[in-house]
Amino acid sequence: MPSSTRILALAALLVSVTASTGGITPPGHQGLPNQIPEDVTPPTPDNDLIAQTAGQVDQKSGPSIDAQPNAPVTPTTVTALDGTVTNATIADVAAANSTRRRDINVGRFGKRQSKYEQVFAGLPAGQHDASLQSSAYLTYTVVNNATYNVDACTAWCDTVKGCVFVNLYYEFNNELLDFVFSEKSNLKCAAYGDIHSAAEKLNFGGQASYPQVGNETVPLTYITQSSGWALKDLEDPDTPDGYELVFGPTGGANNAPGYMGFAFLDKYDVDACALLCNGRGVDPNGGGCAYFNIWRAVVSGIPTTYTCSMYYLVADVSTAVNFGQGDLVVTLSRGYARKDALVDGGFEGYNACGDFCFTTSYGNWTGTSPSGGDDDATFFFFPTYAHTGHGSALLGAAFGDDSDAGKITPAQPVKTDKGAAYVVQCFMYSGFAGAQLEAPAKVDILWNGARVGGVSGANSQYTFVEAAVTGTGSDVLSFVGGAAPAWTFIDDCHIYKA
């Protein structure tokens, strides 16, 4: 929407134009909207809040003395949401704003190459050592303890989704390992979804596991020969369905406009971050989540948490300039954009002038009027009418000389994945002629001819509208409505996988 100097220029112009619709200068004559919505500056991340929250979460763990070996890896959890420490599943957080649920799997930090190298060695056999207390702990097993069985441990890691690192150590005086569990081995192999260092050896044992017998002293657990082994090469994680990789990995997080908030994850899980973005809900000014930035926070040299920042505007590497602050260093930062199945949903492809012009069709979109109708569906180049940029579409006679409903449709059918769920998202504004004249305003969203959603009534600014649809492979989207002077402007439409 316009700057104030622009409004003044337009106001002057208004006086010179003959009113043709109930005293209102119609859009076709470059009339001014009854009420011009305020510009909203898209927000950028609150990096202080992110760093402060990173100091509050505790994601360090490892196998507890009483854990069963070979437990399934627990699904990725959200440990903080928008600055509040929590403990919630991805499904719960994403479903808070989403009607659709999906099977949630643990994502992976990188694809495995099955070649491991030692990151740190254990202390000599006789000495007490410590196992890791670290982020992205997945599960553990015990391996045959006839020898210090590194190969069995790394081979097992290959079978655990998301495992990129193992911590191998003996644990003594654990009654469950010694007598209860069927494996009869005290050589623990703990799987992690991130790579850790000897500085994180923080579990020295010292717990009572054996039962108290009479007045004898219970022997406490202790750990020996704790070594760490990591995959040599990590490839990019698989790109989540409905997204494309924009950049990364780099050492910079985005500091970009259109920020919607952040979640901390207990693992570097791009699929989980994509699900949070899909389920994020909408920003009233910016719409749905269109982009996410996932990165690892290393605090004082220790991998601490995995940040998932969400945006309604697509960012790129040029704004990935937050390298950290204080003790926090940004690592493994990647940006992913949500794929938009709609071409030119912002009508920015219409560029026939540099100031004000409109048309009934251009390369990307077609507008049609019913027979006898005139300019009932048009496309404008005029920043004043646009939600963002300079392009928008108008339903209702541009010159106000009939009250027929027009129809706009993309020039080419929308390419979709057959059977996949999508959302059509748009901003619509039915306020040009003021609340009273716009009261009958109405737009239907059609998908292959069937009504899937729409709006009715006046509003004083661009308002978010969405409709759920299912792809058939090649789909016809259209918007039908407008009855001048109950005009409706449409802008910033997207079709995202749900």
Ligand X SMILES: *[C@@H]1O[C@H](CO)[C@@H](O)[C@H](O)[C@H]1NC(C)=O
Using alpha carbons, select from 262, 265, 266 the residue that is nearest to residue 254. Answer: 262
Smallest distance, Å, CB 111 to ligand X? Answer: 28
Q: Residue 114 has which token pair?
A: 């099955």
Q: What is the DSSP letter of 52?
A: H
Task: Pick from 198, 282, 302, 476 the residue near ligand X by CB under 6 A.
Answer: 282
| Closer Cβ to ligand X, 363 or 473, answer by number | 363
Task: Pick from 149, 173, 186, 488 the residue near ligand X by CB under 6 A.
Answer: 186
Cα–Cα distance, 187 to 125 (Å, whole number)? 13
Chain centroid to CA 73:
23
Q: CA 113, 118, 119 angle in degrees (round to 5)?
A: 105
Smallest distance, Å, CB 174 to ligand X? Answer: 7
Q: Determine the interface stretch with ligand X among 132-140, 177-185, 224-232, 394-402 (rule: CB under 6 A).
A: 177-185
Task: Pick from 177, 191, 272, 486 the residue near ligand X by CB under 6 A.
Answer: 177
Cα–Cα distance, 432 to 444 (Å, whole number)? 18
Residues 84-103, one symbol each (x = binds ligand X by CB under 6 A, - = not), give ---x-----x--xx------
349: contact with ligand X by CB under 6 A: yes
User: Measured in Å, how far apart are the chain's first and last C-alpha atoms?
Assistant: 29
Smallest distance, Å, CB 282 to ligand X? Answer: 5
| Closer Cβ to ligand X, 142 or 328, answer by number | 142
Task: Pick from 22, 55, 363, 389 the residue near ligand X by CB under 6 A.
Answer: 363
Task: Pick from 145, 255, 359, 459 the residue near ligand X by CB under 6 A.
Answer: 145
Q: CA 406, 410, 416 angle in degrees (round to 5)?
A: 135
Task: Pick from 46, 175, 178, 401 the residue near ligand X by CB under 6 A.
Answer: 178
Q: How many residues bind ligand X (CB under 6 A)?
A: 22
Q: Could you tell me where the beta strands, DSSP code E, fall in 90-163?
A: 116-120, 131-132, 137-142
Task: Pick from 131, 149, 322, 364 the residue near ligand X by CB under 6 A.
Answer: 364
Cα–Cα distance, 106 to 74 (Å, whole number)? 8
Residues 19-58, one symbol each (x = binds ligand X by CB under 6 A, - = not), give ----------------------------------------
Where residue 149 falls (left for φ over 0; alpha for ψ -120 to 50; beta otherwise) is: beta
Smallest distance, Å, CB 266 to ligand X? Answer: 8
DSSP string over 393-422? EEES-TTS-----EEEEESSPEE--TT-EE
| Closer Cβ to ligand X, 171 or 402, answer by number | 171
| Closer Cβ to ligand X, 119 or 314, answer by number | 314
Task: Pick from 362, 427, 487, 496 the residue near ligand X by CB under 6 A.
Answer: 362
Cα–Cα distance, 380 to 386 (Å, whole number)? 8
Using alpha carbons, select from 389, 380, 382, 338 the residue that is nearest to residue 359. Answer: 380
Q: Residue 190 has which token pair?
A: 């703990």
Return residues touching ligand X (CB under 6 A): 87, 93, 96-97, 145, 177-178, 184-186, 214-215, 280-282, 343-344, 348-349, 362-364
